[in-house]
Chains A and B, each alone.
Chain A
Amino acid sequence: MNGGPQPPLLRMSGVGKSFLGVPVLRDVDLQVRAGEVHALVGENGAGKSTLMKILAGVHRADAGTVELGGERVDFAHPVHAREAGVATVFQEFNLLPERTVAENVFLGREPRGSGTRIGVDARAMAAETERLLEDLGLSAISPHAPVRTLSVAEQQIVEVVKAMSQSARIVSMDEPTAALAGAEVELLYRLVRRLRERGVAVLYVSHRLKEIFDLSDRITVLKDGAKVATVDTPDTTGADLIRMMVGRPVSAVFPEKIAGTEAGRVRLEVTGGGNERLDGIDLQVRSGEIVGLAGLQGSGRTEIAHALFGIDRFTRGELRIDGERAVLRSPRRAVRSGVALVSEDRKTQGLALHRSVLDNGRLVLDAVAPRRSRARSGRLPGIFSSLELVARSPSQEVRFLSGGNQQKVVLAKWLATDPSVVVLDEPTRGIDVGAKHAVYTLVRRLAAEGAAIVLISSELPEVLGLADRVLVLRDGRITGELPGGASEEAVMELAVGGAP
């Protein structure tokens, strides 16, 4: 049935979208045919998920048109998209864990009993679910199983079955394999291929080149919110894709290393560190050194930060801080051992938003060193001004500050403790250019003062521009080490794994 050119089932033309005035999609064209697996690739932040969400009715495009089967559509709500035949499987599922597979598939539109039987016709519901599962070649799943007993892959399948029962014409999947183990990936492959055979269009977002080459017919590459190209999968190589995905202009200038900064003794050392999410982590950071951790989302970067800060633990291997063996059972132990973590999400993990700038600045001192808190907090005003924090007064609540100034408060709270190891997890996420520069300058200054620094960022230029060495992670393991200033392509190759 794939013979001859067909008009595209989905045609997105000139799609644009901005959040708070920041454009995240610009003039994107995308055409997906029926019976095609179309992969959407790009770096973190390239615009893949936003494009998917516009198609799913979660966001509305600011510009451009979306046509489905030749008809112009404009989904104001996910329900409209679903009714029009667009099914989206997000990374978080919308399933009720305590209900059965069949109940989930027919949630909200259960078949009614006829004649004398009133209420939901459970038998018809189960039979229809079974038929759909068999149709997809997945009879191993029982319609009567509670969803919570299923594996992640099986739950994804239930989402797809639910979509198919509503006669979906397009199924779009956001990194469906991100949480899957080896055998489960195979299950998903089968499902995707079966959907293609049935003439359904599959829009497949993934970071993993292997899957993209295994599954897709065509690939669209996005970079910084714009489309780079759409290519036929057999005509391209992994190296081509990586080149298209990276290689953006350098948008930030990084401050030079402060004169006199040199790598001294080893302050942080992990040998063979591992836990449920990490394995074989070897990491050495010297005083004055900045070590970057790169990798895709879910590769284990944040997990390392958490293990270094006592939020999770290394269940295997050894951790040494300043030569002393350290077992970090809690963030408190980590703080006492001299570790600071500028966490990934400042609003949920870093700040008490209704407390003042000063109270937040004192948070760590108050919690960990109450007796010296008063004396040491005397330095906070100086720290605030060295970070060029802009607030109406030290008693202003931090929730009223801009993202960049909030992040400076987080930094100040750690600077007040004179940490010897500083872990920064996405320290510049969601902050403006000026604040970014302040963060970079601070990282350099901390290094010059002799701290050991671990820098985690999704923005490769940032890691490459600041770090002395970059460790690249994939699936919880370190896949390689690169010198600072290495090319983004080299990092991406290690991060996405071998390509054909």
Chain B
Amino acid sequence: MTATDTPASGAAGALRRAGAALAGGGGGTVFALLVLVFAVIFAINPGFARPPSLLAFAQQAAPLVVLAVGQYLVIVSGELDLSVGSLVGAQVVVAARLIDGQEPMTLPVLALMLAFGAAVGLVNGLVTTVLKVPSIIATLGMMLVLYGAVRLWTGGAPTGALSEAFRVAGRGDAVVLPLIGGVPWAVLIAAAVGAAAVALMRSPYGRTLVAVGDNATAAAFSGARVWRVRTLAFVGSSVLATLAAVLIGGFAGVTAQVGEGLEFSAITAVVLGGVVLGGGRGAVLAAIGGALAVEALFTLFNQLYLPSTIQPTVQGVIIIAAVAYAARERSRRSPRAPAPAGGPEKSPREEV
């Protein structure tokens, strides 16, 4: 589209451009990576290329996609939400205990989880915006509070059981199509969340959210209520974490470890999508691509018979590499080199 782009050669360049067009700029690399990882998986295991395997992959990736969308909302507004992993764990454990295998309890407990999730997001948001606690600390605190409170309440080991109805979303099929097979609810839910997020980011709220992440002062001076915009992003993140908890609980059942480390998986997904920590840049579709790429990498490791304990290490490397890459891009593409005394576009007259 632009004449100044460096000519990217061959298939990788084409993929990257296609991805960039799809994600609205900036996040094209992640789709190229996604295709590359799948190419390797298919090469190792051609059987994986059939619809049932791919749908199973998508089902497994769905919770991370949902979490990545939530994390994207917070990161693009210039903040960070470390509490989502603990929140997923807390929601699953609480649901199991309250439902305790009784089918009629399913809907009331779901409603309660939703309210609890929204409340957690509200607290995260208000502590960050009104009390001015940096979100990395506010949500780190929330993460510990939830982690400890759940263990206190359950006495260490989760008790009870989820109902069958509860588990449908996480592991059931919505429809069975000819040739393709069963399409899981989780895949449809994640797709719906993705579509809703894309629509949201095109709405006035979504655009204001990104503007707040880019320059909060300019947004405030344009009439935006910065505290409200950011708090809503935290609420969105926590509500989506609640949805992810329903999917994960349904898929994997209740364990004491459920949810652990998910906040970092979500952050990895978002930064892998080229979304810049600090806010203001990156597309939600690229964050979703990041979530799929992270899951695809884990699947690849599985195919290579690598132990699953390697996953945190890989995530750590990805986070550092992705942020370093973004920093390098920025310094290289900045319009002008830093000039002495106050930036290049400051007028000479005002320097005087």
**A residues bordering B, Cβ < 8 Å?**
18-20, 22, 24, 44-50, 53, 58-59, 225, 309, 311, 330-332, 334-336, 341, 343, 347-355, 359-360, 362-368, 370, 373-374, 392, 399-400, 403, 406, 413, 429-431, 458
Q: Which 9 A-B pairs have the closest CB atoms?
A: A430-B347, A370-B204, A367-B224, A19-B348, A352-B214, A366-B204, A335-B223, A368-B223, A45-B349
Judge whether A362 and B281 touch: CB under 8 Å.
no
Bound-state CA distance A355–B207 (Å) is 9
Give the residues in chain B near A347, CB-CB below 8 Å: 343, 345
* A-B interface contact total, Cβ < 8 Å: 135
Interface flag for B203 (CB, 8 Å) = yes
- Bound form: Cα–Cα A24–B352 in Å: 8
B305: chain A residues within 8 A (beta carbon): none
Q: Is the CB of A429 within 8 A of B350?
A: yes
Among A47, A341, A349, A363, the residue within 8 A (CB) of B211 is A363
Most buried by B among A24, A351, A352, A406: A352
A359-B207, A359-B211, A367-B219 given as contacts; is B335 within 8 A of A400 (CB)? yes
* Docked-complex contact A332 and B225, CB < 8 angstroms: yes
Task: Give Cα A128–Cα B350 distance, bound, in whole angstroms.
Answer: 40
**What residue of chain B has the Cβ atom nearest to residue A396's Cβ?**
B2
A400 to B336, CA, bound (A): 9
**Bound form: Cα–Cα A311–B222 in Å:** 11
Q: Select the residue from B205, B211, B219 with max chain A CB neighbours within 10 A.
A: B211
Beyond known contacts A352-B211, A413-B222, A430-B350: 5 more, CB 8 A cutoff:
A58-B340, A349-B217, A364-B222, A368-B222, A430-B346
**For B349, what are the chain A residues with a Cβ–Cβ distance below 8 Å?**
22, 24, 44-45, 429-430
Known: A352-B280, A373-B204. A331 touches B352 (CB 8 A): no
Q: How far is the CB of B21 from chain A (nearest CB, A)?
A: 12
With A59-B340, A352-B210, A368-B223: A363-B218 Cβ-Cβ less than 8 Å? yes
A426 CA / B281 CA spacing, docked (Å): 29
Residue of A nearest to B209 (CB): A366
CB interface residues, B 314-352, toward A, < 8 Å = 335, 339-341, 343-352
Nearest chain B CB to A170 CB, angstrom units = 20
Bound complex: CA A46 to CA B349 (Å)? 8
Partner of A429, one of B203, B281, B343, B347: B347
- CA–CA, A423 and B211, complex, Å: 22
In the bound complex, do residue B281 and residue A354 qualify as a contact, i.e. CB atoms below 8 Å apart?
yes
B220 lies within 8 A of chain A by Cβ: yes
Q: Which residues of B contact A46 (CB under 8 A)?
A: 352
Interface residues of B in 166-225 (CB under 8 A from A): 203-205, 207-208, 210-211, 214-215, 217-225
A364 to B280, CA, bound (A): 17
Q: Are B222 and A363 in contact (CB under 8 A)?
A: yes
Name the A residues within 8 Å of B220 (CB-CB).
330-331
Closest to B346 in A: A430
Q: CA separation between A53 and B348, bound complex, in Å?
A: 13
Bound: A311/B350 CA distance, A:
23
Q: Which residue of A lies closest to B279 (CB)?
A: A354
Chain B residues within an 8 Å CB radius of A44: 349-350, 352
CB distance from A313 to the nearest CB of B (A): 15
Q: Give bound CA distance, A59 to B339, whole Å.
A: 11
Residue in B2, B217, B351 with the greatest tally of chain A CB atoms within 10 Å? B351
Which of B204, B221, B340, B351 is close to A331, meaning CB atoms less than 8 Å apart? B221
Looking at the assembled complex, report how far the CB atom of B305 sits from the nearest CB atom of chain A, in whole angstroms: 43
8 examples of A-B residue contacts, CB within 8 angstroms? A24-B349, A44-B349, A311-B221, A348-B218, A359-B211, A366-B208, A368-B224, A370-B205
B352 lies within 8 A of A49 (CB):
yes
- A48 near B280 (CB under 8 angstroms)? no
Complex CA distance for A341 and B211, rounded to whole angstroms: 18
Across-interface contacts of A366 in B (CB, < 8 A): 204-205, 207-208, 211, 224
A45 to B345, CA, bound (A): 16
Taking a contact as CB atoms under 8 Å apart, the answer to whether B219 and A363 are in contact is yes
Closest chain B CB from A418 CB (angstroms): 14
| Cα separation A207 to B219 with both chains bound (whole Å) | 34
Contact B351 A354 (CB under 8 A): no
Residues of A within 8 A of B211 (CB): 352, 355, 359-360, 363, 366-367
| From B203, B218, B224, B344, residue with most partner A Cβ within 10 Å | B218
Asked whether A349 lies within 8 Å of B221 as measured between CB atoms, the reply is: yes
Q: In the docked arrangement, what's the CA distance between A239 and B228, Å?
A: 54
State in angstroms the CA–CA spacing of A349 and B210 once bound together.
15
Q: Beyond A58-B341, A349-B221, A367-B224, is A48–B204 a contact (Cβ under 8 Å)?
A: no
Return chain A residues, CB-CB under 8 Å to B221.
309, 311, 331, 341, 343, 349-350
Complex Cα spacing A332 to B219, Å: 10
Residues from chain B with a CB closer than 8 A to the CB of A19 are 339, 348, 351
Which residues in A have their C-beta under 8 angstroms from that of B218? Answer: 348-352, 363
A364 vs B348: C-alpha distance when bound (angstroms): 30
Report the Cα distance A331→B219, complex, angstroms.
10
Give, as a whole number of angstroms, the nearest-CB distance from B203 to chain A: 7
Q: How distant is the Cα of A120 from the Cα of B281 in the complex, in angstroms?
A: 48
Query: Do B352 and A353 have beta carbons less than 8 Å apart?
Result: no
Bound complex: CA A22 to CA B350 (Å): 12
A355 touching B214, Cβ below 8 Å: yes
Given A20-B348, A399-B335, CB of A353 within 8 Å of CB of B215: yes
Q: Which residue of A lies closest to B345 (CB)?
A: A403
Q: Determine the distance from Cα of A349 to Cα of B211 in the docked complex, in whole angstroms.
A: 12
**Nearest neighbor of A406 in chain B, beta-carbon distance:** B345
Check A352–B215 contact: CB distance below 8 A.
yes
A329: min CB distance to chain B, Å:
11
Contacts of A48 in B (CB 8 A): 352
B352/A50 in contact, CB under 8 A: yes
Residue of B with least CB distance to A428: B347
Residue ID in chain B nearest A402 by CB atoms: B345
Contact A336 B350 (CB under 8 A): no
What residues on A are CB-neighbors of B346 within 8 Å? 430
Give the distance in Å from the alpha carbon of A317 to the alpha carbon of B218 in the complex.
28
For A22, list chain B residues within 8 Å (CB). Answer: 347-349
Taking the closest CB of chain B, its distance from the CB of A319, in whole angstroms, is 17
Interface string of B143-176 (1 = CB under 8 A from A): 0000000000000000000000000000000000
List B contacts of A58 (CB < 8 A): 340-341
Instruction: Report yes or no: B222 in contact with A367, Cβ–Cβ below 8 A.
Output: yes
* Cα(A348)–Cα(B216), bound, Å: 9
Please give the distance in Å from B209's CB to the nearest CB on chain A: 10
Q: Which residues of A contact B2 (CB under 8 A)?
A: 392
User: What is the CB-to-nearest-CB distance from B6 to chain A, in angstroms, rounded to a whole number?
Assistant: 16
- For A349, list chain B residues within 8 Å (CB): 217-218, 221
Instruction: Give the most central of A225, A330, A366, A374: most B CB within 10 Å.
Output: A366
How far apart are the CA atoms of A429 and B346 in the complex, in Å? 8
Tell me whether B352 and A45 are in contact (CB under 8 A).
yes
CA distance A429 to B350 in the complex (A): 8
A359 to B220, CA, bound (A): 15
Partner of A348, one of B217, B224, B352: B217
CB within 8 A of A364: which of B223, B281, B350, B352?
B223
Nearest residue, chain A, Cβ from B342: A19
A311 to B226, CA, bound (A): 14
Selected from B203, B204, B225, the residue in CB contact (under 8 A) with A365 is B204
Which B residues are CB-close (under 8 A) to A353?
Answer: 214-215
User: What is the chain B residue whose CB lies nearest that of A364?
Assistant: B222
The closest CB in chain B to the CB of A309 belongs to B221
Interface residues of B in 1-59 (CB under 8 A from A): 2
Set of chain B residues within 8 Å of A336, measured between Cβ atoms: 223
B351 touches A24 (CB 8 A): yes
Chain B residues near A20 (CB-CB < 8 A)? 339, 344, 348
